[in-house]
């Protein structure tokens, strides 16, 4: 009796190999995601421990957070793996952690006070502990310091939040772990990141006394207008910063300004501007059932009023929507407040006479938009309170336009820079801004947006 053993045919082997390849293609990304999720959880736990150690240090030292440069030595967690994020290519250690502390190594400014963000600040002086970052994933730990180090903090301008925003490493799938002052740790996606969130880590007393700068957009955005989706992206970036009072040009209605709530979805109201003093008169002119109001913390009228100079959207009455659509949540085509074109530069002044009973600080975003393919720059040059010397900021944000329009649409790029502006009872605050463009056929526009 003869026995024979039948082997696999070539086709059968190829089918098996193909099935294995398909399964591998399906499972390997799942395994990679699971591995990254585990690394992310380890990182999150590391930051939670570091945040706890920083809080315990503060509780043992008159509620005061440690200095920036020596924070890893002072919290005394040793050379453990708590400084090492498994998702970071650089191995973290006590001397070179994969995280940075939201303390701020600032030079002493002209009045003898240095801004330190959390460093040297007491727990009770952080106004919003749930929103104040304390420990964050650090970009390039072998090249950056493990705390916010500012080389430009002079004349009363605090650049720490702006610097901190540039140090974040989005190493966890376009997101970063952040430990906050109240102790909770969250994974923050790129779309929600901006330097402005680090303003919450500034001492409340200092933020109300000096100008503090922070970026508003995670990155520059480009979009076609009209475009509802693009509008929502820009509006979200601005509103996330905590501002909503938009002031824009309404020269086509006479010597007027538009004033409205961003994101409200309503028509704006206009207010006339005195032709000689450039002061806002506060005489509202409603448009199609507008429900908006002039802000109560501004004074109005000749001799005491808030003023804007110059008002001018000269390059073709440049509008945010460029021919239609809904921009910044307003159901009306809006002009920018001031625009320049063709390799030029111009300054804009807003002098706010505050109607306030106590000294305070308000946030402001300088929105920069660029139409067509040119290079644009927006600069908050200085802030002056009353007759005091100006606080020189020269805080700048730039972008490069990405293209020209087609048909009834225009390609527009946008970004912004923000600042907390101090206001004093009975004293006018003057904010000087500048728009610059280097293109020959492009239009650059700036529009200030204030906290309501």
DSSP string, 146-167: SEEE-S---TTEE-HHHHHHTT
pLDDT of residue 220: 64
The lowest-confidence range among 131-135, 159-163, 395-399 is: 159-163
Find out whether the peptide bond into 100 is cis, omega within 30 degrees of 0.
no
* Across 81-101, average pLDDT: 93
User: What per-residue confidence (pLDDT) applies to 271?
Assistant: 74
Whether 366 and 238 share a structural domain: yes
| pLDDT category of residue 233 using cuts at 50, 70 and 90 | low
Average pLDDT over residues 423-452: 82
- For the cut 80, the answer to whether the pLDDT of residue 155 exceeds it is no
Task: Give the residue, 31 or 367, on which the prediction is more confident.
Answer: 367
Q: Cα separation of 16 and 365, whole Å?
A: 61
Q: What is the mean pLDDT of residues 229-246?
A: 68
Does 6 fall in a domain? no
pLDDT of 110: 39
End of a domain among 164, 186, 212?
A: 212
| pLDDT given for residue 190 in this prediction | 81
Q: Which residues pair with 149 in a beta bridge?
A: 105
- Position 8 in a domain: no
217 in Cβ contact with 237 (< 8 Å)? yes
233 and 207 together in one domain: no
Q: Read off the DSSP letter of residue 443.
A: E
- Which domain-ending residue is among 173, 190, 212? 212
Distance CA 38, CA 32 (A): 10
| Domain annotation covers residue 49 | yes
Residue 303 lies in a domain: yes
**What is the phi-psi region of residue 211: left when phi exceeds 0, alpha when psi lies from -120 to 50, beta otherwise?**
beta
CA of 340: how far to CAs of 7, 311, 350, 375, in Å? 79, 12, 17, 12
Please tell me the predicted confidence (pLDDT) of residue 185: 95
Q: Does 154 score more than 50 pLDDT?
A: no
Predicted confidence (pLDDT) at residue 359 exceeds the cutoff of 80? yes
On the question of pLDDT at 266 being above 60, the answer is no
Higher pLDDT, 176 or 7: 176
Which is higher by pLDDT, 61 or 230? 61
Mean per-residue pLDDT over the chain, rounded: 76
What is the C-alpha separation between 367 and 413, in angstroms, rounded?
11
Clarify whether residues 207 and 281 are in a common domain.
no
Q: Rounded to an integer, what distance in angstroms lies between the CA atom of residue 237 and that of residue 202?
A: 21
Domain boundary among 212, 231, 256: 212
Nearest Cα to Cα of residue 391 among 197, 195, 152, 164: 152
Whether residues 98 and 167 share a domain: the answer is: yes
Considering only residues 99 and 393, tell me which one the structure prediction assigns the higher pLDDT: 99
Residue 373 CA, distance from chain mean position? 24
In a domain, 165, yes or no: yes
Nearest to 111 by CA among 60, 154, 68, 169: 154
* DSSP three-state, residue 123: helix
CA distance 255 to 63: 54
Q: Give the bridge partners for 379, in sequence order.
A: 396, 434
288: tokens are 């199609």
2 inside domain: no
Kindly report which listed range (24-33, 142-151, 334-343) carries the lowest average pLDDT score. Answer: 334-343
- Burial of 162 from C-beta contacts in 10 A (0-12 / 13-18 / 19+): buried
Would you say residue 219 has pLDDT above 70? Answer: no
Tokens of 23: 């399964």
Identify whether residues 205 and 268 lie together within a single domain: no
Range from 79-83, 209-213, 413-417 that averages highest in pLDDT? 79-83
Do residues 320 and 276 share a domain?
yes
Half-sphere exposure of 79 (CA within 13 A, CB side): 3
pLDDT band of 345, cuts 50, 70, 90: confident
Q: Model confidence over 128-143: pLDDT tens digits? A: 899 999 999 999 999 8
Are the CB atoms for 299 and 355 separated by under 8 Å?
yes
DSSP category for residue 125: G
pLDDT at 391 over 90: no
Q: Is residue 227 domain-shared with residue 111, that is, in the same domain? A: no
pLDDT level of residue 3 (50, 70, 90 thresholds) = low
- Residue whose C-alpha is closest to residue 280's, from 289, 270, 292, 290: 270
Do 392 and 309 share a structural domain?
Answer: yes
In a domain, residue 340? The reply is: yes
Based on the domain organization, do 174 and 224 belong to the same domain? no
List pLDDT tens digits, range 283-340. Answer: 665 554 444 566 788 888 777 778 777 665 544 445 555 444 455 656 555 666 766 7
Domain total of the chain: 2
Judge whether residue 411 has pLDDT over 80.
no
Task: Say if residues 149 and 163 touch (Cβ distance below 8 Å).
Answer: yes
Do 263 and 242 touch, CB atoms closer than 8 A? no
- Please tell me whether residues 85 and 206 are part of one structural domain: yes
**Euclidean distance between CA atoms 346 and 439, whole angstroms:** 14
DSSP H/E element including 175: strand 175-180
Owning domain of residue 328: 216-450
Q: Are 143 and 83 part of one and the same domain? A: yes
What is the pLDDT confidence band of residue 35, given thresholds at 50, 70 and 90?
A: confident
What percent of the chain is modeled with pLDDT above 90?
18
pLDDT tens digits, residue range 36-53? 788 889 999 999 999 999
**261 has pLDDT over 60:** yes
DSSP 59: H
Structural domain contains residue 254: yes
Give the 3-state secondary structure of residue 379.
strand
Tens digit of pLDDT for each residue in 168-214? Answer: 999 998 899 999 999 999 999 887 777 778 878 887 776 666 666 66
Kind of pairing between the strands at 99-105 and 147-149: parallel
Q: Are residues 187 and 224 in the same domain?
A: no
């Amino acid at each position: 009796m003869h026995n024979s053993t039948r082997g696999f045919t070539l086709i059968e082997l190829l089918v098996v190999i193909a099935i294995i390849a398909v399964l591998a293609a399906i499972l390997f990304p799942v395994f990679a995601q699971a591995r990254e999720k585990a690394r992310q959880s380890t990182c999150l736990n590391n930051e939670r421990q570091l945040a706890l150690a920083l809080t315990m240090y503060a509780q043992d030292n008159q509620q005061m957070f440690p200095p920036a440069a020596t924070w890893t030595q002072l919290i005394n967690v040793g050379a453990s793996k708590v400084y090492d994020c498994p998702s970071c290519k650089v191995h973290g250690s006590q001397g070179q952690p994969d995280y940075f502390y939201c303390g701020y190594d600032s030079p002493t400014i002209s009045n003898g006070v240095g801004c330190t963000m959390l460093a040297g600040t007491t727990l009770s002086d952080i106004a919003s502990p749930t929103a104040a970052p304390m420990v964050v994933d650090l970009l390039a730990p072998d090249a950056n310091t493990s705390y916010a180090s500012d080389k430009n903090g002079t004349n009363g301008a605090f650049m720490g939040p702006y610097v901190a925003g540039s140090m974040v490493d989005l190493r966890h799938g376009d997101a970063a772990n952040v430990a906050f002052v109240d102790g909770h740790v969250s994974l923050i996606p790129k779309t929600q990141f901006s330097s402005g969130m680090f303003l919450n880590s500034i001492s409340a007393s200092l933020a109300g006394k000096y100008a503090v700068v922070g970026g508003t957009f995670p990155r520059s955005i480009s979009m076609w207008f009209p475009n509802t989706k693009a509008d929502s992206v820009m509006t979200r970036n601005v509103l996330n910063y905590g501002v909503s009072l938009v002031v824009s040009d309404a020269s086509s209605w006479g010597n007027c300004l538009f004033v409205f709530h961003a994101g409200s979805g309503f028509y704006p109201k206009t207010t006339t501007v005195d032709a000689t003093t450039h002061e806002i008169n506060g005489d509202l002119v409603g448009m199609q059932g507008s429900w908006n109001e002039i802000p109560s913390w501004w004074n109005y009228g000749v001799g005491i009023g808030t003023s804007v100079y110059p008002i001018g959207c000269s390059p073709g009455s440049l509008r945010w929507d460029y021919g239609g659509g809904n921009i910044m949540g307003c159901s009306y085509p809006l002009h920018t407040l001031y625009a320049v074109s063709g390799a030029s530069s111009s300054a804009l002044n807003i002098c706010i006479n505050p109607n306030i009973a106590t000294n305070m600080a308000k946030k402001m975003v300088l929105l920069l938009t660029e139409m067509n393919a040119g290079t644009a720059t927006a600069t908050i040059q200085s802030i002056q309170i009353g007759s005091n010397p100006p606080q020189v900021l020269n805080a700048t944000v730039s972008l490069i336009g990405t293209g020209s329009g087609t048909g009834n649409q225009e390609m527009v790029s946008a970004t912004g820079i923000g600042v907390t502006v101090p206001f004093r009872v009975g004293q006018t605050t003057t904010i000087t801004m500048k728009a610059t463009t280097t293109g020959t056929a492009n239009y650059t526009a700036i529009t200030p947006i204030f906290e309501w």
